Structure 1
Amino acid sequence: MSIVEEDKLINKLKNGCHQSFTNLFHLYAKKLYNFAYKYTESHAESEEIVQEVFLKIWNKKDSINPKLSFNAFVITIAKNLIFNKIKKEASRRQYRAQIASSEMITNETENNVIFADLAELANNKVESLPPKRKQIYLLRRDSGLSVKEIAAQLGIAESTVENQMNKAIKTLKSNLSNFS
């Protein structure tokens, strides 16, 4: 299409001619689509950008200057739309990352509180064990002594140490299983 013919279409568009608008759309749509696709790499987004460009052209038809390059006008609108979409997407990604980070912190804090409560409950249950059983349990847990070493230190049979450890663990499991 010659520049003279394009100028006539633009002047008719300024006066609200739908056919001129349609002709300009067919003249530039493919070029705009290819331009948008270079940036978006998405068929749907590229088609959407073409539609948005021509919607803006229709809405701004009164302010189009026929003496200026219509091609540059169309490309500028497309560029602005593409860059705005890119900025919005980057902003969305950053927002999602912040939300995920805050959820992780919230979960970590919540887990720490639950762990502290559970540890306190476990210590209270250990304190409520009968004195000899508590002593055997703490020697094993805190001091890391073997059954044989505990038996030798306390002057009792190894089977008694094992029996008391089993009872302590059973009591603690029973009391802590109700924690929720």
Structure 2
Amino acid sequence: MELITQSAKLGGAYDFISKFEQGFDTTLHPIQTARLVNNGGTHPLKEMSDKLEKQLEVSGGEKQRLVASRTFMRLQSNKIKCVTVDEPSSALDPQGEMDLFRRLRDARAGKTMIFVTHRFGHLTKHADLIICMKNGRVAETGTHEELMFKNGDYAKLYDIQASAFLPEKIGYEGPDSISVA
């Protein structure tokens, strides 16, 4: 249980899990993969399904924190050498995003971590390698500093996002099919 608790704290899920009536024993809303047809009788699976349907649902940000917690749980294994995460912070608030990426950076020793994201945030300046994609192809690669110096697609995308926070910047209207991996 200690490993689960520690992983929940690292993933940012501990606080809201602790507020559940059953804590870590709470059953979240399951994914329904089959439908039971009731022909008037009772069936043990139908009774179990009825109980499960009344379980808790969580927000998008809470789901991301649970996924992050599972990731931290797996990172405890020396067998994990590569972690790939798609949009790990898309539903997190800025503080949650910063905290998550700091903890992931702290846990990465000896592991390759690949993050697919459209948000530049706290991750870009810490990445060993950024691969900027355009129309499904690699447009350019490098560190944040190298890509900003090149002033290519990555720099344009970065400036678009930064312009929302810098009053002296005017938004860039360029290709809308560029993403960063």
Q: Same fold (TM over 0.5)?
A: no
**More strand, by proportion:** 2
**More helix, by proportion:** 1
Superposition TM-score, scaled by structure 1 size: 0.19
